[in-house]
Structures are given as structure tokens and as C-alpha cells.
A = this chain, B = another copy of it.
Amino acid sequence: MSAADRQPDPLEGVATLDLQRTRRRGYPEAVYCEGKTLEHVEAIARSFVGTTPDAPVLFTRVDADKAAAVLRALPDARHDPVARLVIWPPAEPADLRGSVLVVTAGTSDIPVAREAALTATYLGCEVDEVTDVGVAGLHRILGRLEQLRTADVVIVVAGMDGALPSVVAGLVECPVVAVPTSVGYGAAFGGLAPLLTMLNSCSPGIGVVNIDNGYGAAHLAAQIARGRAR
């Protein structure tokens, strides 16, 4: 840990931004906004004004009020309400490395999938999406076999029984990142059911992330995909 890693905190008492991480790890800074006050979110956004980041900054889990707070500071930022993301600066990376396919089991999983797709895009991956291909109608996923087999990484987003990652991992050679969602009836217990399903998959080759964590899935997927694309 060199001296260069230890630097003063620009947002005393509010946040200790890890701006070195972009350089150190080569990935964007993310500001998780759930649980933060509007004042804190805006202050953090404002701290980027006038800077030229090496990579885009992602504000995740923003509702309408928090998006407005960010946009007050960074008016040209891009806001995607379905994905609950604000991204600044808004330009998508030009130099793409590695391909990520985002697959969702059902339409209700789209917000999490969108968060994953946008994040992977801004982390520099070529991203494609396949929607509503849950295992209740196998022909839907089997009809996408070629598309599945050309991706560097597949992200599978599923709630309810969370069975789709097991099926996909059995069909492809590349790694699968599985994201359980909180979609489902009572005994889904807020995503616990698909989370356990994915952890217990009988197909090897699956890395699981937290419930509804589209951002985390995309970050991992981008790290994998970039490596494969070197």
C-alpha cells in the first residue's frame, strides 16, 4: 500500500470517495443511493463537478427525488428510471471489450436486468438482452442457443423458482452470473427462494450475487468478459 493510496477526503463527514479505485481497478465509481439523504446524494454529485473522471460515475438505486438531486448538480447526466440509475458523464464507452448477454426469466425481472445491462455497457462491454425465457416454456431458451453460446459471459436474472441459471449453465461453456430477484409469491420470501436455488445449482459454472443486485452482477460480468476479450 503505497503512500499514493492514502489521500485526504474531499467530503469530510459525508463520504470518503474511492476515486483511486477507477485507476487501481480500472472500473467506474458507484454511489449506492439507498439510505442516503437527498442532501448527501447531492453533495456527492456536486463533488464531481469540474472533474474529468477516467470512467463514468454510476448513481445506483435512485428514486425520482434522488435522481433530481443528482441532476441538479450534474444536469447532463443520463437518468434511466426503470434501472434506477443516473450515469455521468452520459457518453457510452467507445472501446468495447468482451460481450455480455443479459437473460431474464420473466417480464417482472426487467428492472434488475436493465440495471445490469446499462452497468455493463458503461463498464465497456458489448451488451445484448433476451427477455422472458423462463423454464416453464423451455423452447423459449432453447430457441436462443446460438446467441447464448457466443457471449463471453451470461447474466441470468430470475425470481420465483430461480431455475433458469441451472438450465443456462448446462447449455453454455462460458461463466454464468446469476442474480436472484425479489419477484414472486409469498414463499419466495423476498428473493430467498431463487437465491438458494442458484447457490444449490446442479450445474457448475455459476457465480451468485445479492438479491436484485443488477449492478454487482454486471460489474463481475464485465471483469470476466474483459479478461476473456484481452
A7 to B143, CA, bound (A): 8
Q: With A132-B15, A136-B166 in contact, do A220 and B205 touch (Cβ < 8 Å)? A: yes
Q: Which of B106, B170, B202, B216 contacts A204 (CB 8 A)?
A: B216
Interface presence of A203 (CB below 8 A): yes
Which chain B residues lie closer than 8 Å to A32 at the CB level?
Answer: 106, 108
Residues of B within 8 A of A172 (CB): 25
Contact mask for chain A residues 125-144; partner B; CB cutoff 8 A; 1 contact, 0 none: 00001011111111110110
User: When the two chains form their complex, are residues A135 and B207 in contact, meaning their CB atoms are under 8 A apart?
Assistant: no
- Interface digits, A157-180 against B, CB 8 Å rule (1 contact, 0 not)? 001111100110111111101001
Does A209 lie within 8 Å of B210, measured CB to CB? no
The CA-CA distance from A5 to B171 in the complex, in Å, is: 11
Judge whether B206 and A195 touch: CB under 8 Å.
no
A2 to nearest B CB, angstroms? 9
- Across the interface, A139 reaches (CB within 8 A) one of B20, B163, B188, namely B20
Tell me which of B159, B224, B230 contacts A224 (CB under 8 A).
Answer: B224
Compute how far the CA of A172 lies from the CA of B34 in the bound complex, rounded to whole angstroms: 26
19 CB-based A-B contacts, threshold 8 Å = A1-B145, A14-B110, A16-B133, A35-B108, A35-B109, A36-B108, A134-B202, A136-B170, A138-B170, A162-B200, A163-B167, A173-B223, A174-B223, A174-B227, A186-B211, A195-B199, A208-B208, A224-B224, A228-B230
